[in-house]
Amino acid sequence: MRQGVLSRYKQFLDITSNTPMIDMGEGSTPLVRSKFIERQLGCGELYFKLEGCNPTGSFKDRGMVMAVAKAIEGGSRAIICASTGNTSASAAAYGAYCGIKTIVLVPSGNVAKGKMAQALAYGAEVVVVEGTFDQSLEMVRNFSERNSIALVNSVNPHRLEGQKSAAFEIVDDLGDAPEYLFIPVGNAGNITAYWNGFVQYHEVEKSTIKPRMMGFQAEGAAPIVIGEPVLEPKTIASAIRIGNPASWQHAIKARDESGGSIGSVSDKEILEAYKMLSRREGVFGEPASAASVAGLIKMHSNGIDFSDSRIVCVITGSGLKDPDLASEQNDMPLHQLPLDMDAMNRALGSILE
Ligand SMILES: *Cc1c(COP(=O)(O)O)cnc(C)c1O
């Protein structure tokens, strides 16, 4: 049986004898070597960390298992979050697993179909709010304080605590930290968590180096890059459509301490990387996830030489989360044929030549 995050990394997490060892098999996700982009860009070594392989299809499960365990340890009987989708899917799943009430607030019209389907399937109370993610987060912060139920957004420190396990896994798999970590940045919790994980592992000499943290926001939702909140963040990558990141200062600290950078990529660059990943690598990530790869391609075309470097791109969530976008973006022909062998030979014979 695959060990979940809490038992696998118990000694590095804030776990007491009263913490319930919740385990849905989260974490221990594949680190897959690139077949195409590595050669294309002339990178030393390039790997993808496939976080879509978590139980609900995104890295959010790593933090959620810890946050829910701590909520239960603290006596909470309900959890609440605001979400662009993946946090609510994850909260709903762990809430169902633990038998506690889950309330999720999602901004109206902005949640990918797969994520909404998950929240409903797991039986959460779903509240659609006429507003942005940032405004919904304000509301749940307020509501959770008044009603003393556990807030499981990434402002909850236990979320970041659990999420740092992904950095541990990368070092455990590679035998050392990579030179670079490329990662999409939305609310900026994940880049913060990874950095904490790499620092902690370095302190206990599990690694000899720490990676440069290379964060990427979408151009229309790039508050950290432009240096001020974005009131109406816009991007097709809904998981990073965030205008006022909760972990803004932590992300800047991670960037500066690691000698990394936080930049932006356009929706066009995100979509190109999204398609390249699935077509050339067999990795179907969600659009937000492709921002890490788009960032790598952009830095390479800006003249940065990665030929001596080991690089990990975090593919934060599964492409199945957003089936509408996948179909919209598809430009492969759909062959429609009668049930007729000759017609099939005519239509498909030529593509095999
Ligand atoms: C949440 C999420 C992000 C952004 O992570 P932050 O911690 O908010 O910066 C990126 N990609 C996916 C798929 C996500 O679910």
Structure tokens, 346: 């005519």
pLDDT at 60 over 80: yes
Summarize the confidence of residues 164-175 as an average pLDDT: 98
pLDDT value of position 95: 97
Q: Following DSSP, what letter does each residue of 147-169 receive, concatenated?
A: HT-EE-STTSHHHHHHHTHHHHH
Summarize the confidence of residues 208-230 as an average pLDDT: 98
pLDDT value of position 6: 98
pLDDT value of position 303: 96
End-to-end CA distance of the chain: 45
pLDDT value of position 295: 98
pLDDT at 131 over 90: no
pLDDT at 133 over 90: no
pLDDT digits (tens, 9 = 90+) for 61-78: 999 999 999 999 999 989
* pLDDT bucket at 348, cuts 50 / 70 / 90: confident
pLDDT digits (tens, 9 = 90+) for 244-261: 999 999 999 999 999 999
Structure tokens, 186: 């939305």
Run of H or E including 81: strand 78-82
Structure tokens, 38: 């590595």
d(CA 324, CA 169): 32
| Ligand 1 neighbours (beta carbon < 6 A) | 58, 60, 86, 154, 184-190, 239-240, 286, 288-289, 316-317
pLDDT digits (tens, 9 = 90+) for 288-339: 999 999 999 999 999 999 999 999 999 999 999 999 998 888 888 888 899 9
Task: Tell which atom from ligand 1 comes closest to the C-alpha of 188.
Answer: 9
Which among 26, 54, 56, 58 is the best mutation to test ligand 1's pocket, defined by most ligand atoms within 8 Å of the CB?
58
Give the three-class secondary structure for 180: strand
* pLDDT bucket at 107, cuts 50 / 70 / 90: confident
Give this prediction's pTM: 0.95
Q: Is 195 exposed, middle or buried (0-12, 13-18, 19+ CB in 10 A)?
A: buried
d(CA 204, CA 210): 12
**CB-side neighbour CA atoms (13 Å) of 134:** 20
pLDDT at 110 over 90: no
pLDDT exceeding 90 applies to what percent of the chain? 85
Which among 185, 190, 255, 314 is the best mutation to test ligand 1's pocket, defined by most ligand atoms within 8 Å of the CB?
190
* pLDDT bucket at 114, cuts 50 / 70 / 90: very high
Summarize the confidence of residues 111-119 as an average pLDDT: 91
d(CA 170, CA 189): 18
From the list 250, 223, 225, the residue with the least C-alpha distance to 234 is 223
Contact (CB, 8 A) for 236 and 288: no
Contacts of 206 (CB under 8 A, 6+ apart): 168, 171, 172
Classify each residue of 60-84 as buried b or exposed e, where b means 16 or more C-beta atoms within 10 Å of its C-beta: bbbbbbbbbbbbbeeebebbbbbbb
* Interval between CA 287 and ligand 1 midpoint (Å): 11
Which among 51, 86, 136 is the best mutation to test ligand 1's pocket, defined by most ligand atoms within 8 Å of the CB?
86
Q: Is 345 exposed, middle or buried (0-12, 13-18, 19+ CB in 10 A)?
A: exposed
Mean pLDDT computed over every residue of the chain: 95
Summarize the confidence of residues 194-211 as an average pLDDT: 98
* Interval between CA 123 and ligand 1 midpoint (Å): 23
Summarize the confidence of residues 114-142 as an average pLDDT: 92
pLDDT value of position 310: 98
Among protein residues, the one with the nearest Cα to ligand 1's atom 1 is 239
Give the three-class secondary structure for 235: coil
pLDDT at 109 over 80: no
d(CA 258, CA 79): 34
Q: How far is CA 209 from CA 13, 228, 306, in A?
A: 21, 32, 16
